[in-house]
């Protein structure tokens, strides 16, 4: 259980940092991090950190296709969490 807590804390911090980095690169006109990779960070357990970064930096909030994919991942994670906790 400790490992899971540390993993989730770390992956969420990393996801937050990756979303911040992509926003910074966008502002500077530099090469961006792919949407696929951003979604992979969320899917790996970093959805809370990604969500907080999206809100804080107003990043990827206007692109509907990205939001649909992101919130699809969140719904899947909530469903899995529900199934694990109710067993």
Q: Which residues 6+ apart lie within 8 Å of 7 measured at CB? A: 45
**pLDDT value at position 71?**
96
Q: What tokens appear for 4 in the block?
A: 């899971």
**For residue 18, how many C-alpha atoms fall within 13 Å in the half-sphere facing its CB?**
22
- Domain tally for the chain? 1
Question: Which tens digit of pLDDT belongs to each residue from 27-50?
Answer: 999 999 999 999 999 999 999 999
Provide the domain limits for residue 25: 2-86
């Amino acid at each position: 259980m400790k490992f899971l807590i540390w993993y989730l804390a770390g992956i969420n911090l990393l996801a937050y940092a990756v979303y911040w980095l992509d926003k910074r690169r966008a502002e500077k006109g530099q090469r961006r991090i792919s949407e696929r990779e951003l979604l992979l960070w969320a899917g790996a357990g970093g959805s809370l950190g990604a969500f907080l970064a999206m809100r804080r930096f107003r990043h990827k909030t206007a692109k509907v296709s990205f939001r649909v994919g992101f919130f699809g991942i969140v719904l899947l994670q909530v469903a899995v969490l529900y199934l694990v906790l109710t067993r």
